[in-house]
Amino acid sequence: MNLPTDPHHVPPYAIVDTTLREGEQFAGARFTTNHKIKIAQMLNQVGVEYIELSSPASSALTFEDHKILVDLGLKSKLVPHLRCAKSDVDLALSTGMKVFHLMFATSPILQQYSHGKTIDEIIQRATEIVSYLKGMQMEVRFSGEDAFRSNIEDLDRVFEAVLEAGADRIGLPDTVGGATPFQVYETVGHFHEKFPDAEIQFHCHNDAGCALANSYAALMAGATHLDVTVLGIGERNGITALTDLVARLYTLNRDAVAKYNLKALPPLDHYVAQLVGVDIPISGCVTSPTAFHHRAGIHTNALTRSTSSYEILDPSDFGVTRKIDIAHRLVGKNAIRQRSLDLGLNIADETLAEITWEIKTMSDQEKLTDEFVDGLLQEAAATGRKPTRQYDKDGSTRRMD
Protein backbone atom coordinates (compact mmCIF):
# COMPACT_ATOMS: atom_id res chain seq x y z
CA MET A 1 0.00 0.00 0.00
CA ASN A 2 1.58 3.27 -1.15
CA LEU A 3 0.54 6.08 1.17
CA PRO A 4 0.36 9.75 0.04
CA THR A 5 3.72 11.48 0.20
CA ASP A 6 2.47 15.08 0.42
CA PRO A 7 0.42 15.58 3.61
CA HIS A 8 -0.92 18.91 2.36
CA HIS A 9 -2.22 17.67 -0.97
CA VAL A 10 -6.00 17.32 -1.15
CA PRO A 11 -7.30 15.81 -4.41
CA PRO A 12 -10.36 17.33 -6.12
CA TYR A 13 -13.57 16.18 -4.45
CA ALA A 14 -17.28 16.93 -4.05
CA ILE A 15 -19.41 16.76 -0.92
CA VAL A 16 -22.68 14.83 -0.98
CA ASP A 17 -24.74 15.91 2.00
CA THR A 18 -27.33 13.31 2.87
CA THR A 19 -28.96 14.92 5.91
CA LEU A 20 -32.31 14.79 4.09
CA ARG A 21 -31.88 11.06 3.42
CA GLU A 22 -29.46 9.38 5.83
CA GLY A 23 -30.24 12.05 8.42
CA GLU A 24 -33.94 11.26 8.22
CA GLN A 25 -33.04 7.79 9.50
CA PHE A 26 -31.64 9.25 12.74
CA ALA A 27 -33.68 8.30 15.80
CA GLY A 28 -34.58 11.90 16.68
CA ALA A 29 -35.32 13.20 13.19
CA ARG A 30 -38.72 14.18 11.85
CA PHE A 31 -38.32 16.87 9.23
CA THR A 32 -41.37 18.78 8.08
CA THR A 33 -41.58 20.31 4.61
CA ASN A 34 -40.46 23.66 5.98
CA HIS A 35 -37.57 22.03 7.81
CA LYS A 36 -36.43 20.36 4.58
CA ILE A 37 -36.65 23.63 2.68
CA LYS A 38 -34.55 25.46 5.26
CA ILE A 39 -31.95 22.68 5.55
CA ALA A 40 -31.63 22.50 1.76
CA GLN A 41 -31.25 26.28 1.51
CA MET A 42 -28.64 26.33 4.28
CA LEU A 43 -26.70 23.50 2.63
CA ASN A 44 -26.89 25.41 -0.63
CA GLN A 45 -25.48 28.44 1.19
CA VAL A 46 -22.57 26.35 2.45
CA GLY A 47 -22.00 25.32 -1.17
CA VAL A 48 -22.18 21.52 -1.01
CA GLU A 49 -22.26 20.05 -4.50
CA TYR A 50 -25.03 17.49 -3.87
CA ILE A 51 -28.00 17.18 -1.51
CA GLU A 52 -29.23 13.61 -1.31
CA LEU A 53 -32.92 13.00 -0.59
CA SER A 54 -34.96 10.04 0.60
CA SER A 55 -36.76 8.06 -2.08
CA PRO A 56 -39.98 9.74 -3.26
CA ALA A 57 -41.57 6.31 -2.81
CA SER A 58 -41.04 6.64 0.96
CA SER A 59 -44.33 8.48 1.48
CA ALA A 60 -46.82 10.71 -0.29
CA LEU A 61 -45.46 13.77 1.52
CA THR A 62 -41.89 12.93 0.56
CA PHE A 63 -42.92 12.84 -3.09
CA GLU A 64 -44.56 16.27 -2.82
CA ASP A 65 -41.57 17.65 -0.91
CA HIS A 66 -39.26 16.59 -3.74
CA LYS A 67 -41.19 18.71 -6.21
CA ILE A 68 -41.06 21.69 -3.85
CA LEU A 69 -37.30 21.31 -3.37
CA VAL A 70 -36.71 21.06 -7.13
CA ASP A 71 -38.63 24.31 -7.60
CA LEU A 72 -36.25 26.14 -5.22
CA GLY A 73 -33.70 26.32 -8.03
CA LEU A 74 -30.73 25.53 -5.78
CA LYS A 75 -27.20 25.43 -7.12
CA SER A 76 -26.58 22.22 -5.15
CA LYS A 77 -27.75 19.21 -7.14
CA LEU A 78 -30.70 17.34 -5.65
CA VAL A 79 -30.34 13.56 -5.70
CA PRO A 80 -32.94 10.92 -4.75
CA HIS A 81 -31.63 7.70 -3.20
CA LEU A 82 -33.39 4.83 -4.95
CA ARG A 83 -33.74 1.09 -5.18
CA CYS A 84 -33.11 -0.38 -8.62
CA ALA A 85 -36.83 -0.41 -9.29
CA LYS A 86 -38.31 1.27 -12.34
CA SER A 87 -41.37 2.38 -10.39
CA ASP A 88 -39.20 4.29 -7.92
CA VAL A 89 -37.12 5.78 -10.72
CA ASP A 90 -40.16 6.93 -12.69
CA LEU A 91 -41.59 8.54 -9.58
CA ALA A 92 -38.35 10.47 -9.06
CA LEU A 93 -38.24 11.46 -12.73
CA SER A 94 -41.71 12.95 -12.41
CA THR A 95 -40.45 15.37 -9.73
CA GLY A 96 -37.89 16.88 -12.09
CA MET A 97 -34.72 15.27 -10.68
CA LYS A 98 -31.67 15.13 -12.93
CA VAL A 99 -29.25 13.12 -10.79
CA PHE A 100 -29.96 9.63 -9.45
CA HIS A 101 -28.38 7.48 -6.78
CA LEU A 102 -29.14 3.79 -7.27
CA MET A 103 -28.28 1.08 -4.78
CA PHE A 104 -28.39 -2.68 -4.40
CA ALA A 105 -26.96 -4.69 -1.50
CA THR A 106 -24.01 -6.81 -2.69
CA SER A 107 -22.73 -8.49 0.49
CA PRO A 108 -23.48 -12.18 1.05
CA ILE A 109 -25.24 -11.47 4.34
CA LEU A 110 -27.61 -8.92 2.78
CA GLN A 111 -28.10 -11.07 -0.30
CA GLN A 112 -29.34 -13.74 2.07
CA TYR A 113 -31.34 -11.68 4.55
CA SER A 114 -32.32 -8.50 2.68
CA HIS A 115 -33.36 -9.22 -0.90
CA GLY A 116 -32.43 -12.80 -1.84
CA LYS A 117 -30.93 -11.90 -5.25
CA THR A 118 -27.82 -13.41 -6.80
CA ILE A 119 -25.00 -11.28 -8.19
CA ASP A 120 -26.18 -12.08 -11.72
CA GLU A 121 -29.68 -10.89 -10.86
CA ILE A 122 -28.26 -7.72 -9.27
CA ILE A 123 -26.26 -7.01 -12.42
CA GLN A 124 -29.27 -7.52 -14.66
CA ARG A 125 -31.52 -5.24 -12.60
CA ALA A 126 -28.87 -2.57 -12.09
CA THR A 127 -27.76 -2.34 -15.72
CA GLU A 128 -31.35 -2.11 -16.92
CA ILE A 129 -32.04 0.91 -14.69
CA VAL A 130 -28.69 2.57 -15.40
CA SER A 131 -29.22 2.22 -19.15
CA TYR A 132 -32.76 3.54 -18.81
CA LEU A 133 -31.60 6.70 -17.03
CA LYS A 134 -28.53 7.26 -19.21
CA GLY A 135 -30.82 7.06 -22.23
CA MET A 136 -32.37 10.26 -20.86
CA GLN A 137 -28.94 11.84 -20.24
CA MET A 138 -29.24 11.69 -16.47
CA GLU A 139 -26.31 11.62 -14.05
CA VAL A 140 -26.23 8.22 -12.35
CA ARG A 141 -24.40 6.64 -9.46
CA PHE A 142 -24.69 2.95 -8.63
CA SER A 143 -23.73 1.86 -5.12
CA GLY A 144 -23.05 -1.65 -3.83
CA GLU A 145 -24.63 -1.48 -0.40
CA ASP A 146 -22.47 -3.02 2.34
CA ALA A 147 -19.50 -2.93 -0.02
CA PHE A 148 -16.91 -3.60 2.67
CA ARG A 149 -18.52 -6.93 3.57
CA SER A 150 -18.94 -7.83 -0.11
CA ASN A 151 -16.64 -10.10 -2.07
CA ILE A 152 -14.33 -7.87 -4.06
CA GLU A 153 -14.65 -10.17 -7.09
CA ASP A 154 -18.42 -9.67 -7.00
CA LEU A 155 -17.99 -5.90 -6.81
CA ASP A 156 -15.57 -6.01 -9.73
CA ARG A 157 -18.24 -7.72 -11.83
CA VAL A 158 -21.09 -5.46 -10.72
CA PHE A 159 -19.17 -2.20 -11.17
CA GLU A 160 -17.77 -3.23 -14.55
CA ALA A 161 -21.31 -3.95 -15.73
CA VAL A 162 -22.89 -0.72 -14.51
CA LEU A 163 -20.01 1.38 -15.85
CA GLU A 164 -20.37 -0.27 -19.24
CA ALA A 165 -24.08 0.58 -19.04
CA GLY A 166 -23.09 4.23 -18.63
CA ALA A 167 -22.99 4.90 -14.87
CA ASP A 168 -21.04 8.04 -14.04
CA ARG A 169 -20.02 6.95 -10.59
CA ILE A 170 -19.73 3.87 -8.41
CA GLY A 171 -20.46 3.90 -4.70
CA LEU A 172 -18.61 2.17 -1.87
CA PRO A 173 -20.58 2.40 1.38
CA ASP A 174 -19.22 1.11 4.68
CA THR A 175 -22.80 0.36 5.69
CA VAL A 176 -22.16 -1.04 9.16
CA GLY A 177 -19.08 1.05 9.99
CA GLY A 178 -16.72 -1.88 10.41
CA ALA A 179 -13.99 -0.87 7.95
CA THR A 180 -10.62 0.44 9.06
CA PRO A 181 -8.79 3.34 7.38
CA PHE A 182 -6.23 0.90 5.96
CA GLN A 183 -8.98 -1.32 4.53
CA VAL A 184 -10.73 1.69 3.04
CA TYR A 185 -7.52 2.96 1.48
CA GLU A 186 -6.76 -0.40 -0.10
CA THR A 187 -10.31 -1.06 -1.33
CA VAL A 188 -10.92 2.39 -2.79
CA GLY A 189 -7.43 2.27 -4.30
CA HIS A 190 -8.26 -1.06 -5.93
CA PHE A 191 -11.31 0.34 -7.72
CA HIS A 192 -9.57 3.60 -8.58
CA GLU A 193 -6.84 1.57 -10.30
CA LYS A 194 -9.27 -0.86 -11.94
CA PHE A 195 -11.64 1.87 -13.20
CA PRO A 196 -9.41 4.96 -13.52
CA ASP A 197 -11.99 6.99 -15.44
CA ALA A 198 -14.83 6.35 -13.00
CA GLU A 199 -15.84 8.62 -10.16
CA ILE A 200 -16.00 6.91 -6.77
CA GLN A 201 -18.37 7.88 -3.98
CA PHE A 202 -17.69 6.87 -0.37
CA HIS A 203 -20.20 6.59 2.48
CA CYS A 204 -19.05 5.62 5.97
CA HIS A 205 -20.94 4.83 9.16
CA ASN A 206 -19.44 5.60 12.54
CA ASP A 207 -20.28 2.43 14.49
CA ALA A 208 -16.63 1.90 15.42
CA GLY A 209 -15.64 5.57 15.52
CA CYS A 210 -13.74 5.63 12.21
CA ALA A 211 -16.10 7.55 9.92
CA LEU A 212 -14.02 10.71 9.54
CA ALA A 213 -10.71 8.85 9.31
CA ASN A 214 -12.20 6.47 6.76
CA SER A 215 -13.57 9.33 4.64
CA TYR A 216 -10.14 10.95 4.60
CA ALA A 217 -8.52 7.62 3.67
CA ALA A 218 -11.03 7.17 0.85
CA LEU A 219 -10.27 10.61 -0.55
CA MET A 220 -6.53 10.01 -0.48
CA ALA A 221 -7.04 6.66 -2.24
CA GLY A 222 -9.04 8.10 -5.14
CA ALA A 223 -12.61 8.76 -4.00
CA THR A 224 -14.11 11.79 -5.72
CA HIS A 225 -17.36 12.18 -3.75
CA LEU A 226 -17.73 11.98 0.03
CA ASP A 227 -21.01 11.47 1.89
CA VAL A 228 -21.71 13.50 5.04
CA THR A 229 -24.61 14.71 7.15
CA VAL A 230 -24.96 17.72 9.40
CA LEU A 231 -23.56 16.68 12.82
CA GLY A 232 -23.08 13.18 11.38
CA ILE A 233 -26.68 12.19 12.17
CA GLY A 234 -27.99 9.02 10.57
CA GLU A 235 -28.94 5.41 11.10
CA ARG A 236 -27.73 4.19 14.50
CA ASN A 237 -24.90 6.55 15.50
CA GLY A 238 -24.58 8.14 12.08
CA ILE A 239 -21.90 8.87 9.47
CA THR A 240 -19.17 11.41 8.77
CA ALA A 241 -20.11 14.92 9.92
CA LEU A 242 -20.04 17.74 7.36
CA THR A 243 -18.28 20.29 9.57
CA ASP A 244 -15.76 17.74 10.81
CA LEU A 245 -14.80 16.76 7.26
CA VAL A 246 -14.38 20.39 6.23
CA ALA A 247 -12.26 21.03 9.33
CA ARG A 248 -10.07 18.01 8.56
CA LEU A 249 -9.39 19.21 5.02
CA TYR A 250 -8.96 22.83 6.15
CA THR A 251 -6.07 21.84 8.40
CA LEU A 252 -4.28 20.23 5.47
CA ASN A 253 -4.81 22.95 2.90
CA ARG A 254 -7.17 25.89 3.32
CA ASP A 255 -7.46 26.21 -0.43
CA ALA A 256 -9.12 22.79 -0.44
CA VAL A 257 -12.20 24.20 1.32
CA ALA A 258 -12.16 27.69 -0.19
CA LYS A 259 -15.13 26.72 -2.39
CA TYR A 260 -17.35 26.44 0.69
CA ASN A 261 -18.88 29.16 2.86
CA LEU A 262 -17.30 28.19 6.17
CA LYS A 263 -19.25 30.76 8.18
CA ALA A 264 -22.50 29.11 7.10
CA LEU A 265 -21.56 25.88 8.93
CA PRO A 266 -22.16 26.89 12.59
CA PRO A 267 -25.76 28.10 12.10
CA LEU A 268 -26.51 24.93 10.12
CA ASP A 269 -25.13 22.70 12.88
CA HIS A 270 -27.10 24.57 15.55
CA TYR A 271 -30.32 24.49 13.52
CA VAL A 272 -30.22 20.76 12.91
CA ALA A 273 -29.18 20.04 16.50
CA GLN A 274 -32.27 21.89 17.67
CA LEU A 275 -34.51 20.04 15.20
CA VAL A 276 -33.38 16.57 16.25
CA GLY A 277 -33.09 17.34 19.94
CA VAL A 278 -29.38 16.79 20.54
CA ASP A 279 -26.52 18.88 21.85
CA ILE A 280 -23.53 19.44 19.60
CA PRO A 281 -20.95 17.01 21.03
CA ILE A 282 -17.80 18.33 22.68
CA SER A 283 -15.83 16.30 20.13
CA GLY A 284 -17.42 18.17 17.24
CA CYS A 285 -14.95 20.23 15.25
CA VAL A 286 -15.55 24.00 15.08
CA THR A 287 -19.09 24.15 16.50
CA SER A 288 -18.62 22.28 19.77
CA PRO A 289 -19.21 24.70 22.65
CA THR A 290 -15.64 24.00 23.79
CA ALA A 291 -13.93 23.82 20.39
CA PHE A 292 -11.94 27.04 20.98
CA HIS A 293 -12.04 27.08 24.78
CA HIS A 294 -8.61 27.46 26.39
CA ARG A 295 -7.78 27.02 30.06
CA ALA A 296 -4.24 25.84 30.84
CA GLY A 297 -1.88 28.67 31.78
CA ILE A 298 0.87 27.46 29.45
CA HIS A 299 -1.59 27.43 26.55
CA THR A 300 -3.11 30.85 27.23
CA ASN A 301 0.33 32.38 27.67
CA ALA A 302 1.36 31.21 24.20
CA LEU A 303 -1.99 32.23 22.70
CA THR A 304 -1.45 35.85 23.74
CA ARG A 305 1.62 35.80 21.49
CA SER A 306 0.31 33.68 18.61
CA THR A 307 -3.13 32.09 18.29
CA SER A 308 -1.67 29.40 16.02
CA SER A 309 0.43 28.13 18.94
CA TYR A 310 -2.51 26.09 20.24
CA GLU A 311 -5.09 26.36 17.46
CA ILE A 312 -4.88 24.54 14.13
CA LEU A 313 -8.18 26.11 13.02
CA ASP A 314 -8.76 29.86 12.89
CA PRO A 315 -12.17 30.37 14.53
CA SER A 316 -12.70 33.67 12.69
CA ASP A 317 -12.72 31.79 9.37
CA PHE A 318 -15.79 29.91 10.63
CA GLY A 319 -17.47 32.93 12.20
CA VAL A 320 -16.93 31.78 15.80
CA THR A 321 -14.79 33.11 18.64
CA ARG A 322 -12.27 31.65 21.05
CA LYS A 323 -12.77 31.65 24.79
CA ILE A 324 -9.90 32.03 27.25
CA ASP A 325 -11.08 30.84 30.64
CA ILE A 326 -9.82 33.09 33.43
CA ALA A 327 -11.90 31.99 36.43
CA HIS A 328 -10.22 28.77 37.55
CA ARG A 329 -7.20 27.36 39.37
CA LEU A 330 -5.15 26.73 36.21
CA VAL A 331 -5.17 30.36 35.11
CA GLY A 332 -1.87 32.11 34.46
CA LYS A 333 -0.86 35.71 35.02
CA ASN A 334 -0.54 36.38 31.30
CA ALA A 335 -4.19 35.47 30.75
CA ILE A 336 -5.20 37.83 33.55
CA ARG A 337 -3.00 40.56 32.09
CA GLN A 338 -4.62 40.09 28.67
CA ARG A 339 -8.07 40.23 30.25
CA SER A 340 -7.20 43.51 31.97
CA LEU A 341 -5.99 44.96 28.67
CA ASP A 342 -9.20 43.77 26.95
CA LEU A 343 -11.11 45.71 29.61
CA GLY A 344 -8.96 48.80 28.98
CA LEU A 345 -7.40 48.66 32.45
CA ASN A 346 -3.83 49.53 33.44
CA ILE A 347 -2.73 47.38 36.39
CA ALA A 348 0.78 46.84 37.70
CA ASP A 349 2.38 43.43 37.24
CA GLU A 350 2.70 42.91 41.00
CA THR A 351 -1.02 43.46 41.44
CA LEU A 352 -1.84 41.16 38.53
CA ALA A 353 0.25 38.44 40.17
CA GLU A 354 -1.65 38.87 43.43
CA ILE A 355 -5.00 38.77 41.62
CA THR A 356 -3.94 35.64 39.76
CA TRP A 357 -3.02 33.91 43.01
CA GLU A 358 -6.30 34.95 44.60
CA ILE A 359 -8.24 33.47 41.68
CA LYS A 360 -6.31 30.21 41.94
CA THR A 361 -6.85 29.80 45.67
CA MET A 362 -10.47 30.90 45.66
CA SER A 363 -11.35 28.51 42.82
CA ASP A 364 -10.07 25.64 44.96
CA GLN A 365 -13.01 26.32 47.25
CA GLU A 366 -15.77 27.64 45.00
CA LYS A 367 -16.73 27.99 41.34
CA LEU A 368 -15.85 31.44 40.04
CA THR A 369 -17.20 33.40 37.10
CA ASP A 370 -15.62 35.70 34.55
CA GLU A 371 -17.73 38.52 35.96
CA PHE A 372 -16.18 38.01 39.38
CA VAL A 373 -12.67 38.16 37.94
CA ASP A 374 -13.57 41.31 36.00
CA GLY A 375 -14.76 42.80 39.27
CA LEU A 376 -11.41 42.09 40.93
CA LEU A 377 -9.58 43.74 38.04
CA GLN A 378 -11.85 46.78 37.96
CA GLU A 379 -11.53 47.21 41.72
CA ALA A 380 -7.75 47.04 41.51
CA ALA A 381 -7.65 49.57 38.67
CA ALA A 382 -10.05 51.95 40.41
CA THR A 383 -8.37 51.94 43.82
CA GLY A 384 -4.80 51.68 42.66
CA ARG A 385 -4.16 48.93 45.19
CA LYS A 386 -4.54 45.20 45.53
CA PRO A 387 -7.95 43.59 45.94
CA THR A 388 -9.57 43.87 49.36
CA ARG A 389 -9.87 40.11 49.72
CA GLN A 390 -7.13 37.58 49.21
CA TYR A 391 -6.40 33.95 50.01
CA ASP A 392 -3.11 32.79 51.46
CA LYS A 393 -1.43 29.78 49.90
CA ASP A 394 -2.88 27.56 52.66
CA GLY A 395 -6.39 28.65 51.64
CA SER A 396 -7.10 30.86 54.69
CA THR A 397 -8.75 34.21 54.09
CA ARG A 398 -7.11 37.49 54.98
CA ARG A 399 -8.02 41.08 54.28
CA MET A 400 -5.68 43.58 52.73
CA ASP A 401 -5.09 47.13 54.03
337-374 pLDDT per residue, tens: 888 888 998 888 889 888 889 898 898 889 999 899 88
Would 261 be classed as within a structural domain? yes
Residues 206 and 333 in one domain: no
**Count of structural domains, the chain:** 2
Task: Give CA angle at 369 (337, 399), nearest 5°.
Answer: 75
Mean pLDDT lowest among 225-234, 296-305, 344-353: 296-305
CB atoms within 10 A of CB 97: 24
Q: Which of 100, 131, 105, 127 is nearest to 116 (CA)?
A: 105
388: pLDDT confidence band, cut at 50, 70 and 90?
Answer: low
Q: Which residues pair with 20 in a beta bridge?
A: 53
Would 2 be classed as within a structural domain? no
Would 102 be classed as within a structural domain? yes
Q: Is 366 exposed, middle or buried (0-12, 13-18, 19+ CB in 10 A)?
A: exposed
Would 283 be classed as within a structural domain? no
Would 3 be classed as within a structural domain? no
Task: Give all strands (DSSP E) within 274-322, no chain letters.
Answer: 293-294
Residues 257 and 320 in one domain: no
Q: Are 40 and 72 in contact (CB under 8 A)?
A: yes
Residues 270 and 326 in one domain: no
Would 53 be classed as within a structural domain? yes
Residues 188 and 304 in one domain: no
118-167 pLDDT per residue, tens: 999 999 999 999 999 999 999 999 999 999 999 999 999 999 999 999 99
Residues 105 and 57 in one domain: yes
- Compute the distance between CA of residue 8 and CA of residue 6 in angstroms, rounded to an integer: 5
Residues 249 and 349 in one domain: no
Residues 272 and 310 in one domain: no
- Which residues are known catalytic residues? 299
400: pLDDT confidence band, cut at 50, 70 and 90?
Answer: very low
37: pLDDT confidence band, cut at 50, 70 and 90?
Answer: very high
Residues 186 and 231 in one domain: yes
Residues 334 and 266 in one domain: no
The letter for the amino acid at 248 is: R
- Host H or E run for residue 391: strand 389-391
pLDDT at 27: 95
- Compute the distance between CA of residue 140 and CA of residue 166 in angstroms, rounded to an integer: 8
pLDDT higher than threshold 90 for residue 396: no
Residue 255: partners with Cβ closer than 8 Å, 6 or more residues away: none
Residues 221 and 317 in one domain: no
- If you average pLDDT over residues 389-401, what whole number do you get? 44
pLDDT at 385: 60
294: pLDDT confidence band, cut at 50, 70 and 90?
Answer: confident
Q: Is 137 exposed, middle or buried (0-12, 13-18, 19+ CB in 10 A)?
A: exposed
pLDDT at 19: 98
> Of 229, 248, 276, which residue is a domain's last?
276
Structural domain boundaries, residue 355: 293-399
Would 233 be classed as within a structural domain? yes
First to last CA, the chain: 72
Would 186 be classed as within a structural domain? yes
- Where residue 116 sits, what CATH number does that domain have? 3.20.20.70
- If you average pLDDT over residues 275-296, what whole number do you get? 91
Residues 103 and 215 in one domain: yes
pTM of the full structure? 0.91
